[in-house]
Structure 1
Amino acid sequence: MQQDPNPRPATGYPYPYPYPNQQPPASANGYPPNAYPYQNYHAPHPDPRALLIRRLFIALMVSILFFGLILFIFLLVVRPQLPTVYITSLSVSDFNVSNNQLTGNWDLRLQFLNPNSKMSLYYDTVLCAVYYGDDSLSKTRLQPFDQGTKDQTPINATLSVSGTYVEGKLADSIGKERAEKGSVEFDLRMVSVVTFRYGVYRRRRYVRVYCDDVAVGVPGSSSSGKMVGSGKRCNSY
């Protein structure tokens, strides 16, 4: 059998390499192309400014956590407590509600107790008010005072009102309560800025004191009366 002098490759079967019997052409540096695909890659240098900001942020967070831990341990050891307030007596004189006008004097005696064994207290701008329900009847300002650790301080105050207009609903409610119970329940509220002191440590905060439902015997036939029962502890917030 005679062989074809010009053999051809079978169709559908390409050469296994695009350059038969030879290597791919070399690049300018003498190496085949793509032999070192990352030879010209350089890692980017970190931004010094971003690095500085990151370090400052980390230092700030560490400082905050450190001082927060110190403050937590300090408060855990000192354990600041709100003052305890008792109303020991409350009397009313010249009390009258008629023709939508209110007149009366409230003589009040309080007992302030500092329950802290390591912190002294300073009371500034003490505002005191007597309420009937949600209506304020009279207000006054108490004198600022200091308290040492575990101290008890008695405070006297007088709240007065003369011929102040009140709504008919309030006047009717007071008159009905006097007729049915022979007494009237008043609410006493106080607000003060109290400074907690321990060495160089100072902390100011608002303290609210509520003495609710303090019954005073004032029958309809009388214009004066005293607190029903013994002293009563108020709620501090």
Structure 2
Amino acid sequence: MAEGQKDGCLIAGSILIAVGLIVLLVLLILPFKLPDFSISSASVSLINASSSSQLTANWNLTFSVQNRNKMTGIYYDQINASVFYGSDFIAVTSLPPFHQDKHDLTTVQARLAANSMYLGDQVIADINAERSRDAVNFNFKLISWVQFRLIPRRGRKRLLSVFCDDVTIAYANATAFGTLFTTHPRQCQVDL
């Protein structure tokens, strides 16, 4: 091989390596976009809020989770979903881990149950008063460890918090099941 061809190959190889390193550095320092969470459906079984300050109810929720990243997958692990009335804790459940590729939309089901959960006289009175007006507001929270994954690189684990506050559950009458008040998904706040 002639001396000029060797120099040309060496220059082309150097340029290719430099471009590859620049692309890799850009990918590694790109800011990650937080996923979008919304409640697309919700139902609550007949609430039994007794005079003994206890609550029995079942919640069935469907969350829509949108990965907004163009180049990064997200892995969710150790997911807990909870329901609150105001700031009063009612129930918690664990959800299975899942992975989202870039731009994926994933549906996550959560079933929460309270069986004779003690809440106190005032909280039970407030729930019963709201229910008598055909709607009760609940707060839902999801907590998960997440990794933003740029293959083959795995990011460090971070704690993701999702808050869905003042979700209105409407009741047709005092004996009916409650459902999400709106026909549109209810957006949630996401923090990392």
Which residue of structure 1 lines up, in the alignment, with residue 100 of structure 2? 147
Which residue of structure 1 lines up, in the alignment, with residue 164 of structure 2? 211
Per-residue deviation, 1:93: 0.7
Which residue of structure 1 lines up, in the alignment, with residue 122 of structure 2? 169
Q: Do structure 1's residue 85 and structure 2's residue 54 form an aligned pair?
A: no
C-alpha distance in 1 between matches for 2:25 and 2:38: 31
**Structure 2 portions without partners, runs of 5+:** 1-23
CA deviations over 1:116-144 (Å, ceiling 9, x no partner): 01110000001100110001111000100
C-alpha distance in 1 between matches for 2:82 and 2:103: 26
Q: Do structure 1's residue 232 and structure 2's residue 183 form an aligned pair?
A: no
| Preserved contact between residue 93 and residue 105 of structure 1 (Cα < 8 Å) | yes
C-alpha distance in 1 between matches for 2:167 and 2:173: 18
C-alpha distance in 1 between matches for 2:67 and 2:158: 15
| Preserved contact between residue 82 and residue 92 of structure 2 (Cα < 8 Å) | yes
C-alpha distance in 1 between matches for 2:179 and 2:163: 19
**Structure 1 portions without partners, runs of 5+:** 1-70
Distance 1:218 1:96, change over 3 A: farther
CA deviations over 1:81-115 (Å, ceiling 9, x no partner): 11111100110113110121101010111111110
Per-residue deviation, 1:201: 4.2
C-alpha distance in 2 between matches for 1:142 and 1:223: 27
Q: Which residue, 72, 78, 85 being the options, matches 1:119? A: 72
Which residue of structure 2 lines up, in the alignment, with residue 160 of structure 1? 113
Which residue of structure 2 lines up, in the alignment, with residue 191 of structure 1? 143
Give the letter aligned to residue 104 of structure 2: D
Distance 1:201 1:143, change over 3 A: closer
Per-residue deviation, 1:79: 2.2
C-alpha distance in 2 between matches for 1:144 and 1:153: 12
Percent identical among aligned pairs is 33
C-alpha distance in 1 between matches for 2:38 and 2:76: 16
Partner SS for 1:94 = coil
| Preserved contact between residue 127 and residue 139 of structure 1 (Cα < 8 Å) | yes
Partner SS for 1:82 = coil
Higher RCO (C-alpha 8 Å, min separation 6)? 2
Distance 1:165 1:220, change over 3 A: farther
* Higher CA-based Rg: 1
Q: TM-score, normalised by structure 1?
A: 0.66
Which residue of structure 1 lines up, in the alignment, with residue 15 of structure 2? none
CA deviations over 1:170-210 (Å, ceiling 9, x no partner): 0111112222x310000010110000111324222111000
Q: How many residues of Structure 1 are paired with residues of Structure 2 in the alignment?
A: 166
| Preserved contact between residue 120 and residue 197 of structure 1 (Cα < 8 Å) | yes
What RMSD, in angstroms, separates the aligned Cα atoms of the two structures? 2.0
